[in-house]
Amino acid sequence: MRLLVAEDEPDILRSLALALRDEGYAVDTAATGTDALYKALETEYDALIVDLMLPELDGFSILATLRTRKNTPVLLLTARDSTADRVRGLDAGADDYLVKPFDLPELLARVRALLRRSSGNPRPILEAGSVLIDPASRKVTLHGNEIPLTAREYALVEYLVRNKGTVVSRTALYEHLFDESEDSLSNLLDVHVSNIRKKLGHDFIVTRRGHGYSFES
Ligand code: CA
């Protein structure tokens, strides 16, 4: 899952990005509203975390343009507990909001809830045959036994299972699993897929030659 965090206070931006990367998300950052809108339109993010008050373009203006083109879930961060701002933000197309200062565990839980709702599967535990995936703890079990996965392997498994039944292209996987600062080495994906098959079974991920990968339960 790839997120964009738009925040103009450098300390908050840095610590948020760090905390989200620790959770296994690919994270891009923007420090101005203009940059945030540009990136949000150019990249298929799984969710956006947008500070309401940003230089150049505020959160309301970002939403106004974004919502004419995209459904990307948006969590708004508001600096003060102003009902008027929250109502305006939600009516402009935000999906949720959080008042600053917020506790990190709450932000992480709200992001998980947004991703759950937008994937069309509201259940907190994802089922993939005998494999169970818990996005809150990022634990994966096979026949009840916990299977250790690297952060990237976990992200790949979760993404494919959330999109089960559809063929996910390699391009889409690169877009959703790697952030803007990473080099996309074309063979890396195959290495992760091969490692996942060793851990979860050879049939867990189906290769669609020339198209990408899919998970079929
Ligand atoms: Ca701000």
- DSSP-derived pairing of the beta strands 47-51 and 2-6: parallel
Give residue for tokens 């932000």.
107
- The Å distance, Cα 29 to ligand 1 centre, comes to 14
Q: Strand pairing partners for 127? A: 132
Residue ranges of alpha helices (H) inside the chain are 10-22, 33-42, 59-69, 83-91, 104-118, 151-162, 170-177, 188-200
DSSP SS3 for 50:
strand
Residues 163-212 pLDDT 10s: 888 899 988 998 999 898 876 665 688 899 999 999 998 888 888 888 89
- The Å distance, Cα 37 to ligand 1 centre, comes to 15
Longest dimension (CA), the chain: 53
Sheet hosting strand 2-6, strand order edge to edge: 26-30, 2-6, 47-51, 74-78, 96-99
What pTM does this model have? 0.90
Are 165 and 214 spatial neighbours (Cβ–Cβ below 8 Å)? yes
- The Å distance, Cα 110 to ligand 1 centre, comes to 20
The structure tokens listed for 92 are 């402009």
Residues 27-50 pLDDT 10s: 999 999 999 999 999 999 999 999
